Structures are given as C-alpha cells and as structure tokens.
Amino acid sequence: MTIRLSRRQFLGASSAVAGSLVVGFHVPFASVASAQSSAAHEINAWVVVQPDDTVVIRIARSEMGQGTLTGLAQLVAEELECDWAKVKTEFPTPGENLARNRVWGNYSTGGSRGIRDSNEYVRKGGATARVMLVQAAANDWKVPVAECTVDKSVITHTPTARSTTYGKVASAAAKIAPPTEVALKDPKDWKIAGKRLARLDTVDKTTGKQIYGMDLVLPGMLNAAIKDCPVFGGKVKSFDAAVALKKPGVTKVVRVGDSGVAVVADTWWHAKTALDATPIEWDYGPNATASSAKFAEVLKAGLDAPDAVAGNEVGNARAAIAATSRKIEAVYSYPHQNHATMEVMNATARWTPERCEVWTPTQNGEAALAAASEAAGLPLAKCDVYKLLLGGGFGRRGAVHDWVTQAVLIAKEMPGTPVKLIWTREEDMTHGRYHPVTQCKLTAGLDSDGNVTALHMRISGQSIVAAIFPSNVKDGKDPVVFQGLNPPGPEASLGYTAIPNLLIDHAMRNPHVPPGFWRGVNLNQNTIYLECFVDEIAHATGQDPLALRRKLLAKSPKHLAVLNAVAERAGWAKPAPAGIYRGLAQTMGFGSYVAACAEVSVSPSGALKVHRIVAATDSGYAVNPQQIEAQVEGSFVYGLSAALYGECTVKDGRIEQTNFDTYRVLRMDEMPAVETIVMPSGGFWGGVGEPTIAVAAPAVLNAIFAATGRRIRNLPLKDQDLKKA
C-alpha cells in the first residue's frame, strides 16, 4: 500500500498528467510508491506496470478497514490476468481526478458502495489494460492476438511457444489505443476475485510502520489543538491569547471561524496543554438550553402529527386498521450516537496564496478537496488532498469535513507552514455528526386468525439528508429515512410485501444536534423497530417468530433465503440449550440481504450475555469471503456496542459524553462467537460493510424477550432493567 504524498511525486509516475509543477514534500516513508519510478508505464488510469512486472492498481475509494482496497484490486487483477503476488496499490489524489476529467469516477466511500458501485468500471479498467498488453506482445511478434494467451502477467504465443511478460511490453502497450469494448468474465470463472485472499494492507499494521493522518510528519510542521464551542450553533465571544503564548513551544493562538479557538505549537502536547489553560468565553447562542428530554417531547408529538410524508404505501392501512377487530401498537425510540472512530479527527494543511494542500484520512477525497478549496479561498485546481489510511471512518469522515476546514483556516494564518490539527477525544465526542434520533409508532391490524392485514409505521425524527444534502429533500421527503422499508427495489426494500395494507411515513423533526451518516445509517433503527414489532405480533398471536416472518416474506425469496439459512444453522427447530434463548431479525439494505439469530442468557440479576450469533449475507457476489466475514463480525461489535451502551445525551445544548469512560463500547469479554454464512446468489452487487449492523440489536432484543418476557423498546440496554418480568 502506497500513500501518495505529493503532486510532484505523482507527476514523476505518470506522463498522462498535465499541469504545473508545484512544491511537494518528500516524506521519508518506508513504502514510497514504486509506481513513482519513471520506468513505470501507465496502461490506463487503473493500471501501471513496472519493468519487473509489478502491477500498481489505482484505488479511488478510501480504505478505512473495510477491505475495499483489496477487493477492488482483486477485481482489477482478475480481468488483468496479472500476478497477484506482484500487485501494489495507490490512491490517485482528488486533484488528479479533477485534472483528468474524473477518470477515476466517484471517490465517496460510504453506503457500502466501494465495490458495488465501481465494480463494473474497475473490472473494465483491468480488462482494457489486458487487451492492450496482449496486443503489444502480438504486435511485437507480428502474430494474431487470438493466438496469444495470458496468465499471471505472462503472455504466451502458443503456436511458437514464445512468451513475454507485462513488464516487458508495458512501454509499447501504453501507446496502443484502448479498445472501445471489452467483455468481462462470468464471475463463475474468477480466479482472484471471489477468493479468500489475504488483505494487501496488513503487515505494516502489525509493526507500527503504517502511517495514519495523526502520525504524519512534514518538514517544518507545527501542531495545533482546537476547541470549538461546546454548544452546537454557539460562537466564540472572546479569548485571552496571552496565557497560551507564555507556555512552552507556543507559536500562535488563532480564532477558527466563528466558533473555534486553536493553539499552534511545536508539539501537539504543548498546543493541547496551552489551549487547556486558555480562558475562552463562549456565546452559546440559541441552543443553550436544548436537551435530549426536550427533543423527546418534540419527537413524541410527531408520532401523531398530520405533517408526515409517506415512503411506502400499499392499500389503505389507516382504514384497514380502523376496521380490524384487533390492534397491536408500540412506540420505540433510538438515541443519538457518536461514530467514535479510534483515530480522532485530524488533518495537516499547508497554505500559500498560490496553493493549498491537505493530508487527511477521509472517506471522500473529493469532498475533502471541496472543503479545503472553500476554506483556502482558492479554486479547486490550486488545491489537493493526499489521502491516508483511515483509523476508522464509519461515516464520520465522508460527507462533512469540518476538521479539514478548521485545519486550512489555521494554516492560512501561517502561510507556508504545514500545520497538523489533531482533535482531543473529548473534542471528537462532543463535535460529532451523530446518528439521527427518531421515535417510531407501529400499529398493526390483525384478523381473527392473527394474520397481519395492515401495518402503519410512523417515524418521527431527524433527517440526515435535510442537514447535509438539503437539495435532495423533495416535497419534504428524505428518501434515506426509509432505508429497509422501501417498496421492492435493489437498494433497501421491505421484505414483508405479503401485508396487504401498508403505510410507512415520516414526520421530520430536526433537533439542533448535527446528524451524520453513521455506519448502517437509518437501516439500524428501522430494522430494530420493525423486527422487534414483528416479534411482538408473533408473541401476541401465539405464532412462532420464524413462522410469522416466513408468512410475511412469502413474496420476497431473497429476504427469506437468508432468514432460513440462519434458522437452519442456529437450529431454530430444536430447543436451545438450557438457559439460552434465541431471537431473529432480517432486513435488506445497501443492496444486500441479511439475517441473524442471536443466542443470549440473562442472569437472575438481569445481566445479559450474548453467547452466539449466526448471521447470513447475500451480497449477490462475494469478492473476498474472508473479508465479508470480517465485516459481518465487526458489524456485530458496532451494532452491539450501540445496543448495549451507545447513547449521546444532550444537556444545556451540548453532548454530555466526552470519552470512552462515559461512552462505553463493546470489548473483548463481551464479544459473542459469530458464525457467518456468506451466500452470494448472483446477479446483483450488494454492500457488506453496513447491512449486518441493523440485525444485531433486534436479534438480541428479541432473544432478551424470549429470556425474560421484557420487551425493550428504548436503547441503550445499559439503562434497562433486564430482570425476568
């Protein structure tokens, strides 16, 4: 894995890039790109071949642990027919992407889109390069291309048994016009994709060599710490710089925008301690008295308010419910949560009147570039962003780049000097982009046989899209609010299409806490609401929770297949071991079908233990099954952390939880065994980083009900009494 450090180094690698030379920093990394050697030849945007047959595959999406770097490289290498043992990767910068007419497409790495959205064009990139390389060999031999075969970067002319390698023909291949059309392999013929290959980025993560954004050192670099107003929407009233300026190593104290104060010093520790000593007066603004309790009242009122927008409507649910003899109703809620990436927000920026450069872990290099350009007051073409591996992303580092804006504003105060801004964990916890807060009232109408004749889900609460991409809200509708509840479709559809009357609507209520795309996004709470409520219906009507789901999923075979797979593996038909209780959940989101069965026990004093999870995923195709398993296991850590402990509460307009002592997350001793069934059924491409999170909590909550008779409708579990009802 190569971290691209500067434009100059890149220019050395790629003759196809036009543009002015600018000052770049040479940073002494262990793994400086071998693609930067001038002997390397760019076959096309995705593939660079070196004389020693090393193939450098360009990766536009970001790597934050989810393995997309390896998966995308597998897809390119599969079509390229190169030697996997000689594959390296590098990130083209977003500035290069703009300069080359966005040849690498979308950089956004969220929504579990890394592979599902780019698989086709990256495979074509690999296939096109292969055709050009083989053509170059055929031209050299003056033989028809059809007589040549290729395997592991070796091209062979079968009739004469001559052979050459990619490295030897790369120079000629780079000059050949690319074919306009290439055929892609049938996935059943894959040799590199689809395999349980080791990741490409593991070794340096075990030796301390991997450089994250926080670790970057540039010549002459200074370090900055920042405090933003603790109340969202507040401002800096005044601050006394003199105190900090007397502290060791401090260079400067700067106001950052309306709401922040930063100290710049020789070391980050000096900057941080000097900032701690700096008196700052805040104008807390209009949100100074906001609280979670007050939000909850607003959301509650939204459950019955007339101003709702429908996301899925079949038949006439209200009328059908009114006409039924039996009704079941329940209200659920879901709190604000922080992403809490292990690596806190950070960016290094260098600004001059001519150019602004930023080094940062980001899920969307192009969005980071836009933020840098705006803060720098320079056009996009005079800025660039160098992506580093992320110490966790989970959605925090994607759509909003507030920390990049801050870093550039600080660097602008000291032209020419690179400044590395690192947040404290406390700053990170209290200035997040939080999982949206919602409540949901579910009402089901039942006939005399216990069949569900109508379902109304009223969601009341916060819209991420309204806050971040307001132009995507059309006629008051945030389409992302309905993840997992949509009409049949490829992205996030409701499986319970056997319910004849359905209304799922949303009353938008936006508190002042800024929301963000939080791994799993709205699929998380929607799946809890619906899957727990279906469990409620099953118990209220004396039906087996699996049997009821099978009935409601009768017209949704893919949803049903993953559910059946977990039920079979978990042994649902047989009694659980003594003291162990099971719960089920299923959903569809980010293009994939997922289900889980949780096995839990609850002690007489109410202590929960999750013993075992069986999970199934149908992502259509499985590019690297061992990494899908890693994503599924990780999804349970993320989802169970949220279910057990995840809650950010607001008092006096600010977030109360400031570190891992008050914002607990799952640790090793609480981690259940996870058995993952990867069951790609083919014909579509689904994501795997997020969907499974959504089934973690409801499977456990349903198992808790089976164990205790307690129906938990509000999270986190730490606040709930789990003693047997």
Partner 1 sequence: MPSLNVNGSVLQYDAEPDTPLLWVLREQLRLTGTKYGCGVAQCGACTVHIDGAPTRSCVLPISAVAAGAKIVTIEGLSADGSHPVQRAWVALDVPQCGFCQSGMIMAAAALLRDKPKPTDADIDAAITNICRCGTYNRVRAAIKAAGQGGAVKAAGLAIEDADGSTS
Binding segment toward partner 1, per CB under 8 A, in 6-14, 90-98, 591-599, 635-643: 635-643
Q: If binding is defined by CB under 8 A, does position 30 make contact with partner 1?
A: no
Distance CA 75, CA 120 (A): 9
Q: Which of 38, 101, 180, 207 binds partner 1 (CB under 8 A)?
A: 207
At a CB cut-off of 8 Å and minimum separation 6, what does 545 contact? 534, 535, 538, 539, 583, 584, 702
Q: How far is CA 105 from CA 16, 102, 114, 620, 699, in A?
A: 17, 5, 11, 23, 38
**What minimum distance in Å lies between the beta carbon of 593 and partner 1?**
21
Q: If binding is defined by CB under 8 A, does position 219 make contact with partner 1?
A: no
Cα dihedral 330, 336, 341, 342, rounded to 10, equals -90
Cα dihedral 481, 487, 492, 495, rounded to 10, equals 120
Q: If binding is defined by CB under 8 A, does position 341 make contact with partner 1?
A: yes
Nearer to partner 1, 165 or 373 (CB): 165
Q: Which of 22, 34, 201, 283 binds partner 1 (CB under 8 A)?
A: 201
- H or E segment to which residue 340 belongs: none
Nearer to partner 1, 179 or 634 (CB): 634
Maximum separation of any 2 CA atoms in the chain, in Å:
83
Q: If binding is defined by CB under 8 A, does position 660 make contact with partner 1?
A: yes
Nearer to partner 1, 667 or 724 (CB): 667
**What minimum distance in Å lies between the beta carbon of 687 and partner 1?**
16
Tokens encoding 642: 């949220």
Q: Is 460 helix (H, G, I), strand (E, B) or coil?
A: strand
Distance CA 62, CA 366 (A): 11
Tokens encoding 63: 């790597």
Q: Which of 371, 422, 595, 608 binds partner 1 (CB under 8 A)?
A: 422
Q: How many CB atoms lie within 10 A of CB 35?
A: 26
Binding segment toward partner 1, per CB under 8 A, in 50-58, 65-73, 116-124, 321-329: 65-73
**What minimum distance in Å lies between the beta carbon of 196 and partner 1?**
5
Q: If binding is defined by CB under 8 A, does position 6 make contact with partner 1?
A: no
Q: Is 164 helix (H, G, I), strand (E, B) or coil?
A: strand
**What minimum distance in Å lies between the beta carbon of 392 and partner 1?**
5
Binding segment toward partner 1, per CB under 8 A, in 127-135, 565-573, 630-638, 703-711: 630-638
Distance CA 622, CA 677 (A): 11
Q: Give, as ranges, the residues between 662 and 691 that touch partner 1 (CB under 8 A).
A: 665-669, 671, 673-674
Q: How many CB atoms lie within 10 A of CB 608?
A: 20
Distance CA 262, CA 282 (A): 14
Q: If binding is defined by CB under 8 A, does position 326 make contact with partner 1?
A: no
Distance CA 377, CA 339 (A): 30
- Tokens 């003291």, residue? 579
Nearer to partner 1, 374 or 670 (CB): 670
Nearer to partner 1, 192 or 466 (CB): 192
Please choose, from the candidates 647, 695, 654, 297, the residue with its C-alpha nearest in 3D space to the C-alpha of residue 460: 297
Q: If binding is defined by CB under 8 A, does position 245 make contact with partner 1?
A: no
Q: Which of 19, 144, 159, 248 binds partner 1 (CB under 8 A)?
A: 248
**What minimum distance in Å lies between the beta carbon of 421 and partner 1?**
13
Please choose, from the candidates 165, 160, 157, the residue with its C-alpha nearest in 3D space to the C-alpha of residue 51: 165
Q: Interface mask (CB under 8 A) for partner 1, residues 251-280, using x and -?
A: ----------------xxx-----------
Q: Quick check: bond before 436 cis, omega within 30?
A: no
At a CB cut-off of 8 Å and minimum separation 6, what does 284 contact? 229, 230, 231, 234, 652, 653
Phi/psi region, residue 442 (left: phi>0; alpha: psi -120 to 50; beta: rest), is beta
Distance CA 114, CA 61 (A): 6
Binding segment toward partner 1, per CB under 8 A, in 6-14, 49-57, 97-105, 197-205: 197-205
Q: Give, as ranges, the residues between 125 and 144 that touch partner 1 (CB under 8 A).
A: none
Nearer to partner 1, 96 or 343 (CB): 343
**What minimum distance in Å lies between the beta carbon of 1 and partner 1?**
10
**What minimum distance in Å lies between the beta carbon of 342 and partner 1?**
4
**What minimum distance in Å lies between the beta carbon of 303 and partner 1?**
33
Nearer to partner 1, 8 or 191 (CB): 191
Binding segment toward partner 1, per CB under 8 A, in 129-137, 509-517, 545-553, 621-629: 621-629
Distance CA 454, CA 319 (A): 9
Nearer to partner 1, 140 or 204 (CB): 204
**What minimum distance in Å lies between the beta carbon of 14 and partner 1?**
25
Q: Interface mask (CB under 8 A) for partner 1, residues 69-108, using x and -?
A: ---------------xx-x---------------------
Tokens encoding 232: 């969202």
Q: If binding is defined by CB under 8 A, does position 193 make contact with partner 1?
A: no
Q: If binding is defined by CB under 8 A, does position 195 make contact with partner 1?
A: yes
**What minimum distance in Å lies between the beta carbon of 391 and partner 1?**
3
Q: If binding is defined by CB under 8 A, does position 421 make contact with partner 1?
A: no
Question: Phi/psi of residue 59, each to 5°?
Answer: -120, 120
Beta pairing, strands 581-589 & 326-334: unpaired
**What minimum distance in Å lies between the beta carbon of 26 and partner 1?**
16
Q: If binding is defined by CB under 8 A, does position 647 make contact with partner 1?
A: no
Q: Which of 53, 117, 228, 343 binds partner 1 (CB under 8 A)?
A: 343
The string of DSSP codes covering 469-534 is -GGG-BTTB-GGGGTT-BSSSSSSB-S-TT-SEEEEEEEE---SSPB---TTTHHHHHHHHHHHHH
Nearer to partner 1, 95 or 716 (CB): 716
Number of residues interacting with partner 1: please give it, by CB under 8 A.
69
The string of DSSP codes covering 404-443 is HHHHHHHHHTSTT--EEEE--HHHHHHS--BPPPEEEEEE
Q: Which of 100, 162, 235, 425 binds partner 1 (CB under 8 A)?
A: 425
Q: If binding is defined by CB under 8 A, does position 25 make contact with partner 1?
A: no
Q: If binding is defined by CB under 8 A, does position 53 make contact with partner 1?
A: no
DSSP state of 62: -
Binding segment toward partner 1, per CB under 8 A, in 178-186, 252-260, 603-611, 632-640: 632-640
Q: If binding is defined by CB under 8 A, does position 281 make contact with partner 1?
A: no
Distance CA 722, CA 594 (A): 27
Q: If binding is defined by CB under 8 A, does position 205 make contact with partner 1?
A: yes
Q: Which of 75, 344, 513, 628 binds partner 1 (CB under 8 A)?
A: 344
Q: If binding is defined by CB under 8 A, does position 634 make contact with partner 1?
A: yes
At a CB cut-off of 8 Å and minimum separation 6, what does 200 contact? 1, 69, 70, 73, 87, 88, 89
- H or E segment to which residue 156 belongs: strand 154-157
Q: If binding is defined by CB under 8 A, does position 701 make contact with partner 1?
A: no
Residues near partner 1 (CB under 8 A) are 64-67, 84-85, 87, 195-199, 201-212, 214-215, 217, 223, 248, 267-269, 340-344, 389-394, 422, 424-426, 626-627, 629-630, 633-638, 641, 659-661, 665-669, 671, 673-674
